[in-house]
Structure 1
Amino acid sequence: MKKILIAVSEHGFWIEELLLPIDHFNKAGYTYDIITPTGALPFPDGASLDDTYKDPPLGRCVTSPELAERGKNINWEEFFAGRLSLKDWFPVRPYLSADNYVGSLEKYYGARSQAWEKISEYDGLLLVGGSGPIVDMVNNQRLHDLILGFYYADKLIGAECYTVTCLAFARELDTRQSILRGKHCTGHTMEYDYTEGWSLMANGDYLNFGAPPFSLEYILRDTVGPEGQFHGNVGRRTSVILDYPFLTSRSVASSDLCGEVFVKCLSEGIKKYGWK
């Protein structure tokens, strides 16, 4: 039986990007654990529960009435009971200014190796998308170390929407080389980015950033380098790219296909999907 570790933001996740892959896991007989940055209770982005919400760049509603109703009827506290905490698993990298920096760094690497032992019980990692991950998953050193652990163990790593950024940033401190270099991937494109009104939940209220704090497409194009390729697939309803061990999904509409390909990779052994 396969077991998946699912990482979820504590600042708002998109329900479709969590529930539809889980539907595929359940159908395949997989089990899963949920892990969050600090162990706090995750909550869905309110827009993902509203079937009348129109995504401005796409000009259409992106949540079906059925999925919105399903999300509203879920007891999320019960759903996330037993969740794990990245903060409990992984140490944080010491500052250069730390007393006995070399000793502190050795201790950090040792603790990280011990944390990686927990990965042995899992067959894959899924990073759930939404706006919230930009706050507590992107540039989260503990999450990057989790990703590196799965990468070194040659296990499947799936990333949806903005969490693909985590793959670009997951690097060793000494080499600073991205694990995505030379790979094929997809992610949020410029055409899918808001130009105003992009917001996320912070301190109990929505904080309006205007535009997102960065262009994921530009980051990914630079990260994969000349030997790799970013696939925007603009104009196609879905965009999912598997270049093992990385499975990347562009946005909400690709969630179901992401779950399908995730299962095919683990159950059927496919290593490539969505590119030639």
Structure 2
Amino acid sequence: MSDTQSALFVVSEEGYWAEECIEPLSALESAGVDVTVATPSGAAPEPDERSLDPESVGEETAERYREVAGSNPALTDPVPLAAASAADHDAVVFPGGHGTVWDVNQDRDARQLLLDAVAGEDGVALVVCHAAGILAFTREADGSFLVEGREVTGFPNAWEADIVDDDDVLPDGRKLPYWVEDEVVAAGGLWDAELDADTSVTVDGDLITARGPGSSEAAAETLLDALDL
């Protein structure tokens, strides 16, 4: 591994949340970190249009996110997850968005990247928002859940309830297959989304988790601290 630090971003092809990918990516690149993006098939990912709503994020921010999403070389030319290795990077980052519940969270290669990132003394993983669902599907070699007994945060049920309808259907018409908080807790995670706090970032060893929108910048700062940058 070269002296320049590197990070692998594992990004959903089903719609990633722009802030949760672009804020950490921009922060790491500004700090001199080489960023590689991996997606399940190797296709260029697209942000969830809801995360680009000017009324929610502001026109200037929405325009910046669109510009980065469409022009950042890492995002426009990703590698397939199966071709990525955590050992080649100092950090592995899992941005959130509802899209992750359909692909990244249950992808065997993504789960292995997470396991490898937090194994041993080298490496660190940052898992944001709905991507925390991957913790509910990732098992150690002995069959135990990676998240069992770990303190984590992520996208809370209280927020999910304000988005889906009574049949768990999202505004875009897709039915949510599971709720992230429920699955992580069932897998033994010590969940606290700190609903009374403006931001929520939790560090447990080499695993950093972030609640969701609004916590991305704090999560990036925490990751940079972990990388001594």
Q: TM-score range by the shorter chain?
A: 0.7 to 0.9
Q: Deviations over 1:6-55 (max 9, x none)?
A: 01011111110111112221232111101010101100111111122xxx
Tell whether the 8 Å contact from 2:28 to 2:224 is kept in structure 1 after alignment: yes
Query: Does the residue aligned with 2:98 lie in a helix, a strand or coil?
Result: coil
Can you list the C-alpha shifts for 1:34-88, whole angstroms capped at 9, x where unaligned? Answer: 1010101100111111122xxxxxxxx3x23321011233462663243110134
**Partner of residue 181, structure 1:** 148
Question: In structure 1, what is the Cα distance between the partners aligned to 2:107 and 2:6?
Answer: 24
Which position in structure 2 is the counterpart of 1:55? none
Q: Distance in 2 between matches of 1:130 and 1:34?
A: 16
CA contact (8 A) 1:41 1:77 kept: no
- Mark the structure with the bigger radius of gyration: 1
- Residue number in structure 2 paired with 1:258: 219
- Cα offsets for 1:139-183 (capped at 9, x unmatched): 1112111212222244201111111111221114x6321111111
1:207 aligns with 2:180: no
Structure 1 residue 240 and structure 2 residue 221: aligned?
no
- In the aligned structure 2, how far is the partner of 1:5 from the partner of 1:235? 31
SS of the equivalent of 2:174 reads strand
Give the secondary structure class of the aligned counterpart of 2:125: strand
Shift of 1:244: 1.6
2:89 is equivalent to residue 122 of structure 1: yes
Describe how 1:220-239 pairs up with structure 2 within 5 A.
Answer: 220-224=184-188, 229-239=190-200
Q: Distance in 2 between matches of 1:66 and 1:198?
A: 30
2:62 alignment partner in structure 1: 68
- The 8 Å contact of residues 16 and 67 in structure 1, kept in 2 or not, is answered as no
Are 1:219 and 2:183 matched, yes or no? yes
How far is 1:138 from its partner?
Answer: 1.5
CA–CA separation in structure 2 for the residues paired with 1:125 and 1:8: 11
CA contact 2:135–2:184 (8 Å) conserved in 1:
no
Question: Structure 1 residue 169 and structure 2 residue 151: aligned?
Answer: no
Provide the aligned length of Structure 1 versus Structure 2: 220
Question: What runs of 5+ residues in structure 1 fail to find an aligned partner?
Answer: 53-60, 90-117, 201-205, 269-276
Identify which of 78, 91, 95 aligns with 1:83.
Answer: 78
Establish whether residue 3 from structure 1 lines up as the match of residue 6 from structure 2: yes
**Shift >4 Å, 4+ stretches:** none
Q: How many Å apart are 1:195 and its aligned residue?
A: 3.4
Instruction: Name the SS of the counterpart of 2:227 in structure 1.
Output: helix
Contact 1:38 1:88 in 2 (8 A): no
> Which of 14, 20, 24 is the aligned partner of 1:21?
24
Aligned partner letter, 1:10: E
Structure 2 counterpart of 1:84, one-letter code: V
* Identical columns (%): 25
Letter in 1 for 2:9: I
Q: Is the 8 A contact 2:132 2:209 kept in 1?
A: yes
1:198 deviates by 4.7
Please name the residue that 2:164 is paired with: 195
Deviation at 1:215? 2.2
Q: Unaligned regions of 5+ residues in structure 2, if any? A: none
The answer as to 2:109 corresponding to 1:138 is no
